[in-house]
Structure 1
């Protein structure tokens, strides 16, 4: 991205007629405006395995705090995000009929990599996240 590089040139002279310092600035100056689809693409990159926010920010010439702000906006629904498998979301199917063998207190049933998980009402969401992550890890 050569257009993102700022160059500063100064000229000083003791010759007669010297009017003062001359600075030439090339490249973008001031605030840049990023289209929402570009912001969303950068945010999606940060969710991929083995990628850090700092690496993505450096690659695109954005500050890491700015990219963190866009991630927060995406989590809060303020930045429209395209559907992507990188987020690791699990599709949920709601059915009206009871599944044989289900206990009445089961509120959610997940099927991940061929394993059926019956999630009871009031189950700790953080623990469920660890279970799902462990299942995905073993399937890789």
Structure 2
């Protein structure tokens, strides 16, 4: 148990005398990202972090809902999105004036992610990297 506590403290987890723990989002995201690696299981990762598998599954749900940011995967080569060029009808070419800006939409297979129009560019890049690291 001492080795587990040392490991958790190195991740920034606060461990109280009562046994309760306060998990920073970075530690949660690390645990979730480990479950997405090839051959990894929720049970094995939960055991490594000293938590119940259902807690780790709850963190995975948070990540799917966009409430938990996963670390960007390290890639050796730059990753580029394909550019699709098509003809646009005249009336579609004119920007529509609306009271609210359109959301940023990322589409990957059956997955559609809509982000606020004012989402920071760095956050959008993190999401794209996370999608590229874990193919559908």
Give TM-score scaled by structure 1 length. 0.45
More helix by proportion, 1 or 2?
A: 2
Which has the higher Rg, Structure 1 or Structure 2?
1
Higher-RCO chain (CA-CA 8 Å, sequence separation at least 6): 2
More strand by proportion, 1 or 2?
A: 1
Give TM-score scaled by structure 2 length. 0.46
